[in-house]
Amino acid sequence: MRILTGLQPSGTLHIGNYFGAMEPAVQLQDKGDAFYFLADYHAMTSMSDATTLRENVQNLAIDFLACGLDPEKATIFRQSDVSAVTELSWILSTVCPMGLLERCHSYKDKIAKGLDANHALFAYPVLMAADILLYDANVVPVGKDQKQHLEVTRDLAIKINDRFGEDTLVVPEAMIKENTAIVPGIDGQKMSKSYGNTIPLVGGKKALRKLIMKIVTDSTPVEDPKPTDNSNVIALYKLFADEAAVQQMIEEHQAGGFGYGHFKQQLFDAYYDHFEHVRTKREELENNLDYVNEVLAKGAEKATAEATKVIDRVRKAVGLR
Ligand code: TYM
């Protein structure tokens, strides 16, 4: 089984990225042949500063390793180190109806948020399909916001296979974990860099605590029972605490007598502990950038070898060289 996923180096990794993609990626690296990459071509759709992009790539590579991705088990690489992906993206474009892209929510959302409606933003899902199809991936662990992009990927693979031969491309499946499909942000909407509502994995203790204290709640007085459905604090606490602890928090909500600050402090403690090992590993890696760069260089070699097999097969099937 080939597993593949990618994350954009477009800012600091947040707990939505972690539970939606990173944690499943770490778990799956023991279950098959894993390919994990930093989607720097994709990040160019939302940023235009070369130095920042380079720094973000470095930082995300550190995050990959600090979170537990293991270069002995998984191939870890930078998307742009394998430029065949842009060639496959072109080939896929030739079978991609405009309507398929026009229907994509993420494109419509980004335009609504004021990003320029340029071609790269529109064609984003085609490049993403190429990322997946170039490595014959079977399973793609992602958050729910990527579900539609996976559907586009499957559609394009099927269209290529119908037109050029059944064995040209492998049709992949999305893997979306129900309990972490949409991690909420501090305002209760989906956690997203573009909503400015993210909780990062690591940072200074004081600043992180302040952020957790900002999580939006209602204004039920301390002594009154508090609603537990749609509670943002409980939804986030579930990511870090065991069932008994969550149950206790629910009961304390229902009983009344506890303020939201009390629950947020519990959430903060559980969250801060959860990423203790990531913080420690991160510090180590920040002092060993040669190692991080070596991992990316080796990953690029392995990824190129796999991609070359697939792009050669596709070129032959469609009538190129
Ligand atoms: P990116 O960097 O925006 O997000 C990386 C991963 O984090 C997941 N995610 C979430 N999951 C749950 N709750 C949230 N609030 C949340 N926010 C983000 C995303 O679903 C994603 O899995 N297009 C991809 C990058 C990409 C890719 C690919 C992924 C490019 N090519 C090929 C898989 C396969 C993206 O937007 O990443």
Residue 282 lies in a domain: no
Q: Is 128 in the pocket of ligand 1 (CB under 6 A)?
A: yes
Distance 16 CA to ligand 1 centre (A): 9
Q: Is 210 annotated in the active site?
A: no
On whether both 52 and 165 belong to a single domain, the answer is: yes
Take atom 19 of ligand 1 and give the residue whose Cα is closest: 143
Structure tokens at 151: 């559907």
CATH code of the domain covering residue 264: 1.10.240.10
Query: Can you list the positions of beta strands (E) in 117-175?
Result: 139-141, 173-175
- Over the chain, what is the mean pLDDT? 96
Q: Is the ipTM of this complex over 0.90?
A: yes
- Domain assignment of residue 230, given as a range: 203-274
On whether both 54 and 168 belong to a single domain, the answer is: yes
Structure tokens at 144: 């729910």
How many whole angstroms from its chain centre is CA 74?
16
On whether both 79 and 54 belong to a single domain, the answer is: yes
**The total number of structural domains that make up the chain:** 2
Residue 167 lies in a domain: yes
Q: For residue range 77-107, what is the model confidence (pLDDT) as tens digits?
A: 999 999 999 999 999 999 999 999 999 998 8
% helix / strand / coil in the chain, to the nearest 5?
60, 10, 30
Give, in order, the Cα–Cα distances in Å from 219 to each of 49, 109, 214, 256, 259: 42, 30, 13, 13, 10
* Cβ atoms < 10 Å from Cβ of 106: 15
The answer to whether 1 is annotated as binding is no
**What is the pLDDT at residue 199?**
97
Query: What is the SS3 assignment for 204?
Result: coil
Q: For residue range 36-93, what is the model confidence (pLDDT) as tens digits?
A: 999 999 999 998 899 999 999 999 999 999 999 999 999 999 999 999 999 999 999 9
User: Do the Cβ atoms of 47 and 53 come closer than 8 Å?
Assistant: yes
On whether both 139 and 227 belong to a single domain, the answer is: no
Take atom 24 of ligand 1 and give the residue whose Cα is closest: 7
Alpha-carbon span 157 to 33, nearest angstrom: 21
How many whole angstroms from its chain centre is CA 257?
39
Checking if the pLDDT of 158 tops 90, the result is: yes
Among 176-180, 208-212, 277-281, 303-307, the range scoring the smallest mean pLDDT is 176-180
Q: For residue range 178-194, what is the model confidence (pLDDT) as tens digits?
A: 888 899 999 999 999 88
Alpha-carbon span 39 to 17, nearest angstrom: 13
**What is the pLDDT at residue 250?**
96
Q: Is 172 in the pocket of ligand 1 (CB under 6 A)?
A: no
Catalytic residue of the set 177, 190, 281, 302:
190
Structure tokens at 101: 């892209």
Q: Is 141 in the pocket of ligand 1 (CB under 6 A)?
A: no
On whether both 115 and 73 belong to a single domain, the answer is: yes
Residue 20 lies in a domain: yes
User: Do the Cβ atoms of 263 and 233 come closer than 8 Å?
Assistant: yes
Q: Is 153 in the pocket of ligand 1 (CB under 6 A)?
A: no
